[in-house]
Amino acid sequence: MNNFIDDRQSKVQTFKKDFRKRNLENQKTDIPGGLFIKCEKCNNPIYSEDLDKTLDCCPKCNHHFRISANKRLAITLDNNSFSELFENLATLNPLDFPEYIDKISKYQSQTSEVEAFVCGTGEISEIKVAIGVLDSYFLMGSMGSVVGEKVTRLIEFSTENKLPLIIFSASGGARMQEGIFSLMQMAKTSAALKYHDMAGLLYISVLTNPTTGGVSASFASLGDIIIAEEGALIGFAGQRVIKQTIQQDLPEGFQTSEFQKDRGFVDIITNRRQLKALLSNILRLHGGKTNE
């Protein structure tokens, strides 16, 4: 009799567990996909509409998510003020690198962009600026010949039209598929900025997560004012490579925005939600004039 009761209780417990499992599975299928996003830093779930309201900053830990070039332009510029430049420059394959063009085509399809750098003119609080944004969703924002050419042309356009220049960097560095042609862009963009500086014009460099490699070693580090978003990774080589090279332990928080500001490389650290107001104030302090 006792064995019968024990067996009966065991079957009941098994049934309850199976029922709970099926119920949970049914509940999961009722939740629409994309409704919640897990924070990359604190692992808390975030309601996607709340994330939109905070400009893709975690409302719990303030982690700044990566955003596309289009979204960056939308939250930075006045409504309907952006006019794109040099949008038809297309990447070639100078070294005949295997499957390179196929990879470019894949990212063009995923991002609806021709290349990793989007640039043009726009207005911030009605002040006209030349602006460019590297898109980390396009081949990690790497700088090849076309990216370097577009950055250079934007700088030259800014110089010729006497416009303040703003560039948002988010990059893994030089594009290895183009070898030396990619590395040459560092010198080209830096030389163009020299003429921009000689013309007495303002260049604001905004460093976002991540800004590394050849981009950080060229135009990203040459701003008259260098602004970084909170918690951004900023550096040249990766921590593992540096540690293996110098055979020393690296400081806590190495290559973060806060570390770079403490060492004098970054002038201002800001939250993304205050960035447009900050840029507007800087432009006005440096004589920016509203469109009339």
pLDDT at 35 (0 to 100): 84
Are 154 and 72 in contact, with CB atoms under 8 Å apart?
Answer: no
Structure tokens at 287: 């004589």
Which residue from 213, 223, 232 is spatially nearest to 270, judged by alpha carbons? 232
Are 100 and 93 in contact, with CB atoms under 8 Å apart?
Answer: yes
Structure confidence at residue 4 as a pLDDT band (50, 70, 90): very low
The three-state secondary structure class of 12 is helix
List Cα–Cα distances, 86 to 12, 198, 268, 276, in angstroms. Answer: 70, 24, 30, 24
Q: For 56-85, what is each residue's pLDDT tens digit?
A: 999 999 999 999 999 999 999 999 999 999
Encode 5-20: b = buried (16+ Cβ within 10 Å), e = exposed: eeeeeeeeeeeeeeee
Structure tokens at 177: 């598929």
In angstroms, the CA 289 to CA 62 distance is: 33
Instruction: Locate the domains of the chain by residue range.
Output: 67-285
Are 161 and 130 in contact, with CB atoms under 8 Å apart?
Answer: yes
- The CATH architecture that domain 67-285 belongs to is Alpha-Beta Complex (3.90)
Residue located via tokens 């550096």 = 235
Q: For 224-260, what is each residue's pLDDT tens digit?
A: 999 999 999 998 877 777 777 777 777 777 788 999 9
pLDDT at 48 (0 to 100): 87
Q: What is the mean pLDDT of the chain?
A: 88
Could you tell me what percent of the chain has a pLDDT over 90? 73
Q: For 5-45, what is each residue's pLDDT tens digit?
A: 455 555 545 544 554 555 444 444 455 566 888 998 999 99
pLDDT at 150 (0 to 100): 98
Give the residue, 6 or 284, on which the prediction is more confident: 284
Stretch 103-119: mean pLDDT, rounded?
96
pTM: 0.85
What are the residues whose beta carbons fall under 8 Å from the beta carbon of 162, sequence distance 6 or more? 199, 201
pLDDT at 153 (0 to 100): 98
pLDDT at 114 over 90: yes
